[in-house]
Amino acid sequence: MSAPAAEKIFGRPESLKDVATHYCPGCGHSVAHRLVAECLDEMGLREKTIGVPPVGCAVLAYNYFNFDMVEAPHGRALAVATGIKRVRPDSFVLTYQGDGDLAAIGTAETIHAANRGELISCIFINNAIYGMTGGQMAPTTIIGEVTTTTPGGREAKAHGSPIDISRMLAVCEGAVYIERCTLNSFKGIKQAKKAIRKCFQVQVDGLGFGLVELLSPCPTNMKMSPKQAWQWIDNQMMKTYPLGLIKDTTGYEDK
Amino acid sequence: MPSEKKLMRGSDTLAEAAVRAGCRFFSGYPITPQNELPEYLSWRLPQAGGTFIQAESELSAINMVLGAAATGARALTSSSSPGVSLKQEGISYLAGQELPAVVANMMRGGPGLGNIAASAADYFQATRGGGHGDYRTPVLAPAGCQELAELTFLAFDLADKYRTPVMLLGDGLIGQVMEPVVFPDPIDPADLPPKDYILDGCAGRAPRAIFSMLLGQQGELYKHNLHLQEKYEQITADEQRWEENLTEDADIIAVAYGTASRIAMSAVEELRAEGVKAGLFRPITLWPYPKQALRKLAQGGVKVAVFELSAGQMVEDVMLSVGERAEIHFYGIPGGVIPTPADVIDFLRSALKGDGKVGRRVEI
């Protein structure tokens, strides 16, 4: 009598290498990496994918993702991705960028890639702080948030208000899908995966630029426990960055 | 087959030569005096099945080129001095990631916004790396349209051969002048040797990553730097190019490149007609500098007279080449002012006499 065939119901996505990451306990990057990898696997895109990581905490993402990747200078991921996609339109091109990379030093590259409607999928990790450099103010740092360069908390008058780049991008004609999700709860993560899949589909269907913003906890630099950092996203960060669909001109029925 | 002879402007020549050399990607940002180049490619590249993008900035333009190069395309960007300053970040990354690309700089007067006249004040920036880190880029300095066409081909070949950014260093005058050109045989990009490092999706092979950050504790960055330096030594040994005119019996040898060399050559010819034994040494590669070739000429009491459209930059390489083997004189015109052959004749006469009236004697 033969044993019943084993059915694999859970495992490491092929798009993720079998290595330990350098991310801190409670950080959102590991979860975001996994969601990206799962979606690429499920959509059969891994072997077509060329990824561009940011400068920031995810700068070493090419050590974790199991597909072709090229490093970009800080903020220039979407310019590099534009060059890739235009030369190889059949590739699936992905950028994975933090808030400093995408919404401060790379603001021009971000807005113009979106405005040109480049067929690129952008995963935007918003943790409201500069992680890699040790906790300085980010463009997305919220009012009152204490960072190493806003020791008295961010003030609009002195430091400017937090930038909502996703809403800014929504006015660009070429951006067809923008959604903000969170990585601090199971429900949030589930929705984030749905959004990432849809964002990838936008590129596969050749509709235009797609971006998913992920609110992501940074317990180390917030000087909080992981649990506190997750709660902070619920209690503080979402007031500035409410979750939900920001733009959708895809025409997909699920919207 | 080579093309028919055509009368073409310098910027158009570079653009057409790039397409014929297999370049299928250009990204740039408008800046005078080189706008004719992107304007030409805006219609010519799509015609050849390539991509032209007017980028939002020089930063973006050079990084689009980086992305295109990572996928294996022959890629070009062009600008003029202030724009090339902005491109230095990307050039450093291209050098660190060992990606090929061609960057054309049609130099204008500086520093700062300067003016839009032809100048040659970016020599240091071009030949010393320009951006951060220990790297060099081969720098080719054309003196006319025919040479510009040929050096454009060479620039793409060197970029691919050594996996390095290569700079074509011209100026506003080289870009604007119209001269007859015969283009070399066109290259079909499909016929170029395959590149084993490019990103085209990992189907059937292990994923590849192209990066310059080496944080390892086992001296990875140190080793990478040694590897780069070995490459630069190889380029220095194999890729020096220059031209000698009437140097064999010369009492005075002018040293000049690009537009300045055209003026200097006119001066040399006029002096020869008057019986003065003048010659011209014209570096074509500014890095690697043709040091040994110039050193060989610096003997037997010959005087070396450096003429530049700058306050004195290449003269330092001449000093490094010649040392104390010969008297070195310098005459430089900064700020986008173009002198006449008569000015250079005065300089060469003054240098021969050693009266210090035009230019100055350079002390090592």
Question: For residue B60, what is the nearest residue in chain A, using CA coordinates?
Answer: A79
CA angle A132, A133, A135 (to 5 degrees): 95
Q: What is the pLDDT of residues A103-134, one digit of tens each?
A: 999 999 999 999 999 999 999 999 999 999 99
- Alpha-carbon distances of A79 from A83, A86, B23, B60, B199, rounded to whole Å: 6, 11, 19, 5, 16
Ranges of chain B whose pLDDT falls below 50: none
B59–A76 C-beta distance less than 8 A: yes
Give the Cβ contact number of residue A125 at 10 Å. Answer: 26
Domain A29-248 classification at class level: alpha beta
How many angstroms separate the CA of residue B91 from the nearest CA in chain A? 11
Q: Which of A19, A63, A70, A74 to mutate to test the interface with B (most CBs of B within 10 A)?
A: A70
Closest Cβ opposite residue B199 in set A50, A76, A108: A50
Helices B10-20, B145-162: inter-axial angle, 10-degree rounding: 40
Write the CB contacts of A108 (distance below 8 Å, at least 6 apart in sequence).
B56, B57, B59, B60
Interface check for B362 against chain A (CB to CB < 8 A): the answer is no
CA neighbours closer than 13 Å in the CB half-sphere of residue B21 = 27
Q: Which residue has the tokens 């006449």?
A: B340
CB B209 within 8 A of CB A69: yes
Ranges of chain A whose pLDDT falls below 70: 1-3, 254-255
B75–A83 C-beta distance less than 8 A: yes
Given phi > 0 = left and psi -120 to 50 = alpha, else beta, which region is A182?
A: beta
According to CATH, where is 3.40.50.920 located in chain B?
A: 243-362
Q: Which of B26, B54, B66 to mutate to test the interface with A (most CBs of A within 10 A)?
A: B66
The β-bridge partners of B303 are B252, B327
Interface check for B335 against chain A (CB to CB < 8 A): the answer is no
CA angle A250, A116, A249 (to 5 degrees): 15
Interface check for B190 against chain A (CB to CB < 8 A): the answer is no
Domain boundaries along the sequence of chain A:
29-248
Decide: helix, strand or coil at residue A162: coil
How many angstroms separate the CA of residue A213 from the nearest CA in chain B? 22
CB A130 within 8 A of CB A118: no
CA distance B17 to B61: 20
CA distance B138 to B129: 9
CA B110 to chain centre: 18
CA A209 to chain centre: 14
Burial readout A74-111 (b: 16 or more C-beta within 10 A, e: otherwise): bbbbbbbbbbbbbbbeebbbbbbbbbbbbbbbbbbbbb
Closest Cβ opposite residue B51 in set A52, A66, A86: A86
The residue type found at A44 is G
CA distance A157 to A159: 6
B25–A62 C-beta distance less than 8 A: no
Contacts of B213 in chain A (CB under 8 A): 59-60, 71
Which helix (H) or strand (E) segment holds residue B152: the answer is helix B145-162
Interface check for B68 against chain A (CB to CB < 8 A): the answer is yes
According to CATH, where is 3.40.50.970 located in chain B?
A: 6-191
Interface check for A49 against chain B (CB to CB < 8 A): the answer is yes
Contacts of B202 in chain A (CB under 8 A): 46-47, 49, 66-68
Q: ipTM, 2 decimals?
A: 0.96
Contacts of B199 in chain A (CB under 8 A): 50, 68-70, 84
Q: What is the CATH number of domain B243-362?
A: 3.40.50.920
A48–B71 C-beta distance less than 8 A: no
Contacts across the A-B interface (CB distance below 8 Å): 136
CB A129 within 8 A of CB A184: no
Question: For residue B88, what is the nearest residue in chain A, using CA coordinates?
Answer: A73
Interface check for A138 against chain B (CB to CB < 8 A): the answer is no
Residue A8 is predicted with a pLDDT of 84
How many angstroms separate the CA of residue A182 from the nearest CA in chain B? 29
- Whether the predicted model's global pTM rises above the 0.90 cut: yes
Contacts of B76 in chain A (CB under 8 A): none
Domain B6-191 classification at class level: alpha beta
Mean pLDDT of chain A: 96
How many angstroms separate the CA of residue A147 from the nearest CA in chain B? 26
